[in-house]
Amino acid sequence: MTSNDIWVFIERDGDEIEEVSLEILGKASEITRAFGYSLTGVLLGTPNEEVASETIRYGADKVLLIKHEDLNTYSNDLYVKSLFDSINKEMPSAFLIGATPYGRDLAGRLAAKLRTGLTANAITMEMNEKGEVIFGVPAYGGKIVAEIVCEKARPQMSTVRPGTFNKVYDPKRKGKVNTIVPDLTKTQNRVKILERNVSKIKDLSKSERTIVGGNGTGGDITLVKRLAELTNCDIGVTRPLADRGLVPRDLQVGSTGYSLKSKIALILGVSGSEHFTSGIKDCGTVISIDLDEKSEIFNHSDYCIVGDVSEIVPLVIQKLEGER
């Protein structure tokens, strides 16, 4: 028997909560309020008390703290074991996880162990009167949003794309923290972390001004980089450029990359596939340059320039350098 409770995995790096966990809380709290459900933020390890308080301020009614020193750094073995036991005991109706590298790693194995369905990378989330969560996922090259419902198995699980939902914050919100201590004595942690390298690349979803290069740059992003330097912008790319290893994956914009929320975005030589445009829909002003006047990208742009990137960009750079 499932409870009328929705759980959100609160991913953290030390005492800093991942943005996507807060975004999921924001959307999930809207749903739980509308249907009289409760919302639980699930924390693992021994975080500072403030982390639990923040989880509540961002929308959770309560926090489930699965407390164990060994859970302070992510381990698939230990996290799956701890969450599997807690879920089997409490039987939440849904369990939502951010589609981060760790979140994706955790969700797949946990769903398989729970013998439940898992929706990957949801971009919409609603609930119906039957308590079914309807997850929306881009399909057919991103041309449609397919709705996925987990009809029978519980909990209903999904990973949620970062940058999709808005956070809500109420500094006065209060809630209870329930602490449990998992039994990890028989669980072997098969992965040892030898060294931790944190990417120094800025989180693109926080970029205020971004220049995105696509295939139309011919894969040479030297010009994009120079223009970005001169205009104090961050750089993003489309997936083909990241696939070719021309830039780190952390710079990819789109459904399997980052969602931009920039005030201004300049898009250079990008055709405008749905998988890409879903990553710029929350931008303020979008300016695009493309050779093809019928390019789909122009349907997602405020200013459309039909022209050759390799001719226009050097001229702009020349002018800006001249002004310095």
Ligand X SMILES: Cc1cc2nc3c(=O)[nH]c(=O)nc-3n(C[C@H](O)[C@H](O)[C@H](O)COP(=O)(O)OP(=O)(O)OC[C@H]3O[C@@H](n4cnc5c(N)ncnc54)[C@H](O)[C@@H]3O)c2cc1C
The answer to whether 216 contacts ligand X (rule: CB under 6 A) is yes
* CA 59/CA 25 separation, integer angstroms: 6
Contact between 220 and ligand X by CB under 6 A: the answer reads: no
> Does residue 270 belong to the site contacting ligand X (CB under 6 A)?
yes
Q: Which of 210, 252, 259, 301 binds ligand X (CB under 6 A)?
A: 252
Nearest CB to ligand X, comparing residues 66 and 160: 160
Residues ≥6 apart with Cβ < 8 Å to 8: 21, 24, 25, 28, 39, 40, 41, 42, 60, 95, 96, 97
Measured from the CB atom, the residue of 73 and 121 that comes closer to ligand X is 121
Retrieve residue 49's tokens: 């008390």
Residue 29: partners with Cβ closer than 8 Å, 6 or more residues away: 39, 59, 60, 168
Number of residues that bind ligand X (CB under 6 A): 27
Q: Residue 112 contacts by C-beta under 8 Å, 6 or more apart in sequence?
A: none
Q: Which of 205, 255, 259, 262 binds ligand X (CB under 6 A)?
A: 255
The CA-atom distances, in angstroms, between 100 and each of 130, 223, 234, 318 are 29, 31, 21, 40
Q: Give yes or no for residue 291 binding ligand X (CB under 6 A).
A: yes
Question: Which is closer to ligand X, CB of 66 or CB of 289?
Answer: 289
> Cα(280)–Cα(278) distance, rounded to whole angstroms?
6
| 254 in contact with ligand X (CB under 6 A) | yes
Could you tell me which residues come within 8 angstroms of residue 139 by beta carbon, excluding any fewer than 6 positions away? 145, 146
Asked if 309 touches ligand X (CB under 6 A), the answer is yes
DSSP state of 36: T
Among 74, 295, 300, 301, binds ligand X (CB under 6 A): 295
Tell me the HSE value of 41 on the side-chain side, using a 13 A CA sphere. 32
List the x/- string, 118-147, binding to ligand X by CB under 6 A: -----------------------x------
Can residue 256 be called a binding residue for ligand X (CB under 6 A)?
yes
Nearer to ligand X, 23 or 290 (CB): 290
| Residues making contact with ligand X (CB under 6 A) | 141, 214-216, 238-240, 252-257, 269-271, 273, 275-276, 289-292, 295, 308-310
